[in-house]
């Protein structure tokens, strides 16, 4: 038995056991204070309502996060999430534009746990006058309707958006609008779309852009209604006038070509569905010049339009072979 107590192995085991007991005594019974570093703690900026009432906006801050150290009981520290520590800056006392240095108030919601560092945390903020700007909403499009369909009239509601923020930031925003995708549609389109902003170079400002984080807007979405109308291809029928026997004989022995020979029309579907051809105005034979060509206007039914706004066609006459032999 004496040999066991005197062996190196036993002494090593005994030493380890004593060390563990001492460690447990220190940790559990004495509970010494520990220090924990909290990194990138977000700063909460409060008092924004009073700042807005004063007609002032923040254009930038020297910092939006801080690093700090908290010290306290290991037991108590282990019960809480360090993320519940609050760092806040009260801006309600700012009454003028320019640079202001404000203290950061640290709130640690743990009992008997304090901040070990004696440093005073400050943040510099730059303020400007708050201004408003009203922008007309524009509609940009992408894609196309279905084949043989075209977009008609568009309406957007609301028609404007008002932005508010620091004077220098608002001044950099030049345009606002929405983007409508036709999406191969063959029926009328109604879509609620997010409002997008553009700078003076017509570059779109994304949601992550620093400029947009400094402004507020009265509306975020706009509804676009776009008519989608069917295109119908119809023939053109020329109407000739032949007042004399000679003109009638000439017409009987003359063929013609049209440019264009067909057009695409659109309008109310109930109306255009019944139309297969449209006529020209009356064409007197004397209208044709030595080159046998003439331009003549089309007669369109009420409220029917022609794609590409074609309003007239060119007619070219040519004598028949039979007439030339005679």
Residues 6+ apart with CB under 8 A from 238: 256, 258, 279, 280, 283, 296, 313, 315
Q: Are 54 and 96 in the same domain?
A: yes
Tokens representing 290?
């030595």
pLDDT at 102: 95
Q: Are 197 and 173 in contact (CB under 8 A)?
A: yes
Tell which of 128, 155, 187 closes a domain. Answer: 128
Sign of the Cα torsion 251, 256, 260, 262 reads positive
**Paired residues of 56 in beta bridges:** 129
Q: Are 44 and 109 in the same domain?
A: yes
Helices and strands: H and E segment counts in the chain: 8, 23
pTM: 0.70
Q: Are 171 and 246 in the same domain?
A: no
Q: Are 39 and 10 in the same domain?
A: no
Q: Are 63 and 106 in the same domain?
A: yes
**CATH number of 122's domain:** 2.170.120.30
Q: Are 262 and 290 in the same domain?
A: yes
CA distances from 160 to 156, 199, 200 (A): 9, 17, 18
Tell which of 105, 128, 151 closes a domain. Answer: 128
**CATH number of 197's domain:** 2.170.120.40
- Alpha carbon 320 to chain centroid, angstroms: 63
Q: Provide the domain count of the chain.
A: 4
pLDDT in tens, 20-75: 666 555 455 445 666 777 888 899 999 989 998 999 999 999 999 988 877 766 66
pLDDT in tens, 265-301: 998 888 999 999 999 998 887 777 666 788 899 999 8
pLDDT at 326: 45
Q: Are 134 and 222 in the same domain?
A: yes
Range of the structural domain that residue 236 is part of: 232-325
Q: Are 134 and 220 in the same domain?
A: yes
pLDDT at 141: 96
| 298: region left, alpha or beta (phi > 0 left; psi from -120 to 50 alpha) | beta
Q: Are 24 and 41 in the same domain?
A: no
Q: Are 199 and 284 in the same domain?
A: no
Tell which of 229, 258, 289 closes a domain. Answer: 229
Q: Are 170 and 83 in the same domain?
A: no
Q: Are 53 and 123 in the same domain?
A: yes
């Amino acid at each position: 038995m004496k040999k066991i107590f005197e062996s190196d192995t036993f002494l090593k085991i005994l030493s380890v056991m004593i060390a563990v007991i001492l460690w447990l005594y220190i940790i559990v019974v004495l509970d010494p204070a520990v220090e924990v570093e909290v990194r990138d703690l977000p700063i909460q900026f409060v008092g924004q309502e009073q700042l807005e009432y004063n007609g002032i906006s923040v254009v930038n801050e020297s910092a939006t996060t801080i690093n700090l150290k908290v010290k306290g009981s290991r037991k108590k520290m282990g019960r809480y999430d360090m993320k519940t520590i609050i760092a806040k800056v009260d801006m309600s006392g700012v009454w003028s534009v320019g640079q202001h240095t404000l203290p950061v108030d640290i709130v640690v919601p743990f009992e008997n746990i304090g901040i070990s560092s004696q440093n005073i945390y400050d943040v510099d903020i730059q303020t400007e006058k708050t201004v408003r700007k009203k922008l007309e909403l524009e509609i940009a499009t992408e894609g196309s309707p279905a084949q043989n369909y075209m977009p008609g009239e568009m309406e957007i509601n609301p028609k404007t958006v008002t932005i508010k923020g620091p004077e220098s930031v608002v001044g950099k925003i030049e345009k606002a609008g929405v983007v409508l995708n036709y999406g191969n549609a063959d029926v009328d389109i109604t879509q609620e779309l997010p409002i997008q902003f553009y700078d003076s170079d017509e570059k779109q400002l994304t949601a992550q852009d620093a400029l947009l984080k400094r402004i507020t807007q009265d509306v975020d979405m706009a509804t676009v209604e776009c008519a989608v109308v069917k295109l119908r291809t119809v023939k053109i029928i020329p109407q000739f006038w032949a007042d004399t026997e000679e003109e009638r004989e000439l017409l009987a022995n003359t063929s013609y070509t049209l440019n264009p020979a067909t057009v695409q029309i659109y309008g109310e579907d109930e109306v255009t569905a019944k139309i297969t051809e449209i006529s020209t105005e009356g064409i007197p034979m004397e209208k044709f010049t030595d080159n046998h060509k003439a331009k003549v206007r089309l007669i369109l039914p009420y409220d029917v339009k022609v794609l590409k706004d074609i309003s007239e066609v060119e007619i070219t006459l040519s004598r028949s072979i039979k007439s030339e032999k005679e």
